[in-house]
Chain A
Amino acid sequence: DAKTTQPTSMDCAEGRAANLPCNHSTISGNEYVYWYRQIHSQGPQYIIHGLKNNETNEMASLIITEDRKSSTLILPHATLRDTAVYYCIVTYSGGYQKVTFGIGTKLQVIP
């Protein structure tokens, strides 16, 4: 799996958009970008994934650059409940794939 690089921590004001960057310059053509988050001591939670097109679901949007070397997870209106560690993971899709978690980005939403 390709390696990812994320900032260690970020702050975001409540109600504002949270933009979490991820670099994955060694991503291969058939690897997907997945995002998970872990709210304090809870089980990790799947957020969104994408291959090359931008994706949106009820939780977030995922913007992937045209060269696919980086991506941004966007939480459009951050709430205090979005305070968590966010993990960007690059891996093949479908079937069986273990998730290899890094350190992630600790997002603190500030009132």
Chain B
Amino acid sequence: EPEVTQTPSHQVTQMGQEVILRCVPISNHLYFYWYRQILGQKVEFLVSFYNNEISEKSEIFDDQFSVERPDGSNFTLKIRSTKLEDSAMYFCASSEGDRGYGEQFFGPGTRLTVL
């Protein structure tokens, strides 16, 4: 069964450094998303991406964050100048779009630890 994959599973970085989290969405999906979950808190929407551009972004997704689909398979989240409060699980998701009913399929997540 097709699934969303994410790398790395755990990323440790120093405050102020840049990190890139990578995702491979399900191959025939059209919409891509990033969510994050701070330990013990709710899963929060960050951004959605369709047709090579951002569809919607939350207040969390400020200039520190960017997303890119550099090729036909990868979807990346870049966090510049990381802060302690960026420590969280980051989940990538994808959905079929108009051909489906909007259900999203999530990856296993990347645990980001900022020291």
Measuring CB to CB, which residues of chain A are less than 8 angstroms from any residue of chain B?
32, 34, 38, 41-46, 49, 91-103
Any A CB within 8 A of the CB of B95: yes
Binds A, one of B14-22, B40-48, B72-80: B40-48
**Chain B contacts with A in 41-90, Cβ cutoff 8 A:** 42-45, 48, 50, 55-56, 89
Identify which of B55, B101, B107, B108 contacts A96 (C-beta below 8 A): B55
Number of A-B residue pairs at CB separation under 8 A: 68
C-alpha gap A93/B56 in the complex (Å): 16
Any A CB within 8 A of the CB of B100: yes
Query: Contacts A95-B97, A96-B97 hold; do A46 and B109 have CB atoms under 8 A apart?
Result: no
Q: How far is the CB of A29 from chain B (nearest CB, A)?
A: 16
Any A CB within 8 A of the CB of B8: no
Chain A contact residues, majority secondary structure: loop
| B31 and A46 within 8 A (CB) | no
Q: How far is the CB of B22 from chain A (nearest CB, A)?
A: 15
Chain B contact residues, majority secondary structure: strand
| B106 and A44 within 8 A (CB) | yes
C-alpha gap A21/B3 in the complex (Å): 29
Any A CB within 8 A of the CB of B113: no
C-alpha gap A93/B100 in the complex (Å): 8
Identify which of B31, B44, B109 contacts A43 (C-beta below 8 A): B109
- Report the 6 A-B pairs with minimum CB-CB distance, sorted nearest first: A43-B106, A101-B43, A46-B103, A97-B102, A98-B45, A93-B101
Residues of chain A contacted by B98 (CB below 8 angstroms) = 94-95
Residues of chain B contacted by A91 (CB below 8 angstroms) = 102
